[in-house]
Chain A
Amino acid sequence: MLDSLFQDIRYGVRALAARPGFALAALTTLALAIGANTLVFSLIDGIYLSPLPYRDDAKLVDIENQYRNMGLDATGASIPDYLDRREGMKSIVESGLFMGENFNLAIDGAPERAHGIRATPSLFATLGVAPALGRAFTDGEAEPGADRVVVLGDAMWRNRFGADPAIVGRDIRLDGESYRVVGVMPRGFMFPDRETALYVPFAFTPAQKADTERGHEFSTSIARLAPGATIADAENEANLVVRRNLDRLGSIGSDGTRFATFMKSAGFTIDVRPLRTLLAGDHSRMLLLLQLAVGLVLLIACANIANLMLTRLSARQKELSVRTALGASRSRLARQLLIEAVLLALAGAALGIVIAIAGQKLVAMSGLMPDWVALGIDLPVLAFTFAIAFAAGLLFGLAPMLSAGLAKPQQVLREAGRLGGGGRGARATRGALVVAQIALAIALLASAGLLVRSFANVLQESPGFDSRGVLTAAISLSPQKYPDDSAKANVIRRILESARALPGAAAVGLIDERPMSGAISGSSYRITGVATDATPHAFERTVDEDYFKAMGIPLIQGRTFESSDWTSANKVAVVDELFAKKRFPNGDAVGHVLDLDRPGVTGRQYTIVGVVGTTKNGDLGETVSQETFYLDYGQSPAGTLTLILRTAGPPGALVQPLREAVRSVDPEQPLFDVMTLDQRVHLSLTGRRVPMQLIGLFAALALVLAAIGIYGVLAFAVAQRTGEFGVRMAIGADAGRIRRQVLADGARLLLPGLAIGVAGAIALGFVLRSQLFGVGAIDVPSLGFVVAVLGAIALLACWVPARRAAKTAPLEALRYE
């Protein structure tokens, strides 16, 4: 048995080698289609299937506060929230809290920015990872004043400290302060992303632990589920803790009651989700779409190869009949043919892996994937690749055999004898395969068309500001060096002045977030003397007086900030147009007072002095539904901010002068994340652009394969029917009639393919709906265009064989017969 199998494999290899043209065509098709599938699956594997670098990572969860009635579904956690859960939940065995922070790291005097996190000592235990060198922080080090210790990430230790093991125990300078290095994390560890280079203790002050801190959700809490506990258990328990707390708060005075009422009306609940969701972001829908697209490409490829196999089977009838005559059983013949198909598929898979690796490099460069995702070909990807290759081999190996009726070899042989190969059944199968190919290609092309149209529409959208000729650069002030608001305001004032003095700087402003990064904090508010719905919530931004000018955001009413506001006792705010429309439909926003008080925080009343245009926050395609208010930087200074320089010339020319301007104020102050505003807008489109490009690429592949399929089937049919064309010409058909006949044969395949494809495209359009912008699931222009393009290419593919048929010399044709 095994012996005969090996023999069949040997025959298979030899049979393929004997027809290198066929093998090459089939291998190329397979390699492209399988490669595309491997590529997309490797993205899925990298994000969702490959183990995270933590012990028993399936048990790790992210616990997020949610304000359902406000449309906020993941706001992080406050310190008291974290402490409640740590003590009150039996379904978790360990938990940690962290927040991102940028540090100015000074090595040999040159300032450099390093991204790190403040984390509770329990974070490492929760993740189940200990430092490779030294130790993690102790609970004692998570106390204010005792927290000048740092654990380095492996990359920072290697790149900045030459992998010196003696670094443990030495001091480094962060934000101008000395921190003792107590440990180095192992190679391969990352949390929550690769950009995080160091970890310092999260020391809670007594005030931060108080109830008044609730609602200050600037941290993220993670936990490890107890043995046997599920995510649902943890969620139920966490919500129980919330209810208990709100009941308690509701009974301790007016502030507490107000807070409890607010939380209840905001729909405050807890959402527990796998930690992976926090790290990966939600790419699942896009990746499933891509996998669907490449799955279709593979089906088209299978149809193509099934056709090639069928053609080849027809040409091999003589060989097969000899084998039958020599005593080969039906099953043995079938096995022989299947083995050839599977061998071909496996070889295609091997080549496909090479293509996938090249594709991974391109995807990695595109910035689509989170930075910690290591794209590669691991065991699951290999298994997936060879499994789909095997399945494809069976599919394109079996289909022709069944259609050719190998179950009844006598019939095949009889038909083959009559028609010179390819009986009526085989021909019908070939036709059906081409119809399927055209339909699949139409569906894919139309999807790509929808995404391209959406992207074009998104590009037409105005972000609400003028991104041309603007340079942006981030600054993170050291809290040690600039501990209070006035220190921050002073240094920023001096930095702004020196930047404004740069030749070529037309306007220089600042904001506390990075524009178009999607990151934006928000706050609940009230309007003094105006009844609003239960819990209005707005985006909150802190900007200076020149921000709007530098960004090109239009002033609609009143005024923007003025430099005198920095020191004025009269607190002022500017709101965006959406805010004004929502809250002041009569157009009387200016003069009203924005009240940002909340339990424990008072005196935050800001007079609205102006209304500016609404801007987008992270996606040109978003419909801004949340209003924004702006506070004056001088009145609420922040430590991390972005400088915005509108330049007279090319923005790039100001990068170095800006660095020097900042250094002239504080030689230890680094600038980071320097890019033009146009680049930020471009970057914000990555999530739309890359999937569109990938689907476009796969659709183009599908188009080429479908065209090859149509050409192959018609060319084969024409070759098979040379004699028939000769007869037709002998009984009076002219070249034009023969050409028209072949074209009509092509059209008979094309039209049902187009019709089914359009139906499929409409169905896919509905699946894609959430990814579309400014275009419906049924988009007649793009559908029409796609049908026209595929129709034209298909007709071209028909034209070549039609011309050949029309040139048939009856004499030769009949001799051929």
Chain B
Amino acid sequence: MPLIELRNVERSYPLAGGRSWVLRNIDLDIADGEFVSIMGPSGAGKSSLLNVLGLMDHDWQGRYVLDGVEVGTLDARKRQTLQRDKIAFIFQHYHLIDDLRVWENLDLPLQYRDVPAKERQARVADLLDRFSIVGKKDLYPNQLSGGQQQLVAVARAVITRPRLLLADEPTGALHSTQARTIMDLLHELNREGVTIVQVTHNEAFAREARRIVRLSDGWIDKGLPQSG
């Protein structure tokens, strides 16, 4: 059973005199432990698809089964619980919280999940160590470089041990060396079993995934061969 199963998913926005369609008839399965890249020109629906996958958007039609759960039947609270349990995000612009130190940024998702303090401490220390950012733990995000910030953002995403990591152009704001580090990190996480879906404009990084899903005007472009 795939981790993600989308059937005939459609997403549109009301517009004066009609609707604007951003996702059309999406059928997509993503297996547990897969690494998928989503590509396509601007406005193709990449971020919209990521938002549907990440349960950040629920105003769509069709069927979405995540890890055996019919997402469409869930109320907001259950949807949030599901999201909290299974999913984490990485954003192009890191979206760290400026007023919190590095370690506090890592601690926050655990707090939101009511993890006991002792365990939080251990997990934060563990991740700081693993991502080699112990020395930066007391700095504020604006005291870090972009690459370091994204590193912290990835650490913050995986600290909750998600099944699915959704990355929206994770390397988009970074120079090549920093981007490479982040991609290596994603591969490592994937090897450890985390399912990764990344939206990217970078063809080379996209190819590093097992599969590329190409979107065009909201449709999945089925004509192209998938790499893998």
Q: Which residues of A contact B (CB under 8 A)?
A: 418-419, 723-724, 726-728, 730-734, 737, 810-811, 814, 817
Give the chain A neighbours of B77 by CB distance below 8 A: 734
| Contact of B97 with A727 in the complex, beta carbons under 8 Å | yes
Distance between Cα atoms of A386 and B150 in the complex (Å):
55
Please judge, given known A-B contacts A731-B88, A731-B156, A734-B80, whether A814 and B95 are in contact too, CB under 8 Å.
yes
| Contact of B95 with A727 in the complex, beta carbons under 8 Å | yes
Query: What's the dominant secondary structure at chain A's contact region?
Result: helix
Give the chain A neighbours of B112 by CB distance below 8 A: 728, 731-734, 737
Give the chain A neighbours of B157 by CB distance below 8 A: 731
The contact sample of 16 A-B pairs, CB cut-off 8 A, is A419-B98, A724-B98, A727-B96, A728-B97, A728-B108, A731-B89, A731-B109, A732-B84, A732-B109, A732-B160, A733-B108, A733-B112, A734-B77, A811-B56, A814-B95, A817-B95
Distance between Cα atoms of A723 and B98 in the complex (Å):
11
CB distance from A327 to the nearest CB of B (A): 29
Distance between Cα atoms of A811 and B84 in the complex (Å):
16
The A-contacting residues of B in range 93-152, CB under 8 angstroms, are 93, 95-98, 108-109, 112-113, 142
Give the chain A neighbours of B188 by CB distance below 8 A: none
Which residue of A has the minimal Cβ distance to B109? A731
A724, A730, A733, A737: most-surrounded residue (chain B CB, <10 A):
A730
B57: contacting residue among A419, A727, A733, A811, CB under 8 A:
A811
Give the chain A neighbours of B216 by CB distance below 8 A: none
Give the chain A neighbours of B97 by CB distance below 8 A: 724, 727-728
Tell me, yes or no, whether B91 is within 8 Å of chain A by CB.
yes
CB distance from A735 to the nearest CB of B (A): 9
Distance between Cα atoms of A240 and B156 in the complex (Å):
91
Distance between Cα atoms of A732 and B112 in the complex (Å):
6
B97, B157, B160: most-surrounded residue (chain A CB, <10 A):
B97
| Contact of B95 with A418 in the complex, beta carbons under 8 Å | no
CB distance from B105 to the nearest CB of A (A): 9
Tell me, yes or no, whether B51 is within 8 Å of chain A by CB.
yes
Distance between Cα atoms of A810 and B95 in the complex (Å):
12
CB distance from A177 to the nearest CB of B (A): 89
Give the chain B neighbours of A730 by CB distance below 8 A: 54, 56, 89, 95
Can you name 8 extra interface pairs (CB under 8 A) apart from A731-B88, A731-B160, A734-B112? A418-B98, A419-B98, A730-B95, A731-B112, A732-B109, A732-B160, A734-B80, A811-B56
Give the chain A neighbours of B108 by CB distance below 8 A: 728, 731, 733
A418, A726, A811: most-surrounded residue (chain B CB, <10 A):
A811
Distance between Cα atoms of A737 and B110 in the complex (Å):
13
CB distance from A738 to the nearest CB of B (A): 10
Give the chain B neighbours of A418 by CB distance below 8 A: 98, 142
B93: contacting residue among A728, A731, A733, A817, CB under 8 A:
A817
Distance between Cα atoms of A723 and B156 in the complex (Å):
17
The 9 A-B residue pairs with the shortest CB-CB distance, nearest first, are A732-B112, A727-B95, A731-B109, A732-B84, A733-B112, A811-B56, A732-B109, A730-B89, A810-B56
Give the chain A neighbours of B96 by CB distance below 8 A: 727
B51, B56, B89: most-surrounded residue (chain A CB, <10 A):
B56
| Contact of A732 with B95 in the complex, beta carbons under 8 Å | no
Give the chain B neighbours of A723 by CB distance below 8 A: 95
Give the chain A neighbours of B88 by CB distance below 8 A: 731
Give the chain B neighbours of A817 by CB distance below 8 A: 93, 95
| Contact of B142 with A732 in the complex, beta carbons under 8 Å | no
A418, A732, A814: most-surrounded residue (chain B CB, <10 A):
A732
Which residue of A has the minimal Cβ distance to B93? A817
Which residue of B has the minimal Cβ distance to A419? B98
Please judge, given known A-B contacts A418-B142, A728-B108, whether A811 and B89 are in contact too, CB under 8 Å.
no
Distance between Cα atoms of A453 and B80 in the complex (Å):
53
Give the chain A neighbours of B89 by CB distance below 8 A: 730-731
CB distance from B10 to the nearest CB of A (A): 17
CB distance from B151 to the nearest CB of A (A): 16
Distance between Cα atoms of A418 and B97 in the complex (Å):
12
Distance between Cα atoms of A438 and B85 in the complex (Å):
42
Distance between Cα atoms of A12 and B83 in the complex (Å):
50
Which residue of B has the minimal Cβ distance to A815? B47
CB distance from B13 to the nearest CB of A (A): 12
Which residue of A has the minimal Cβ distance to B157? A731
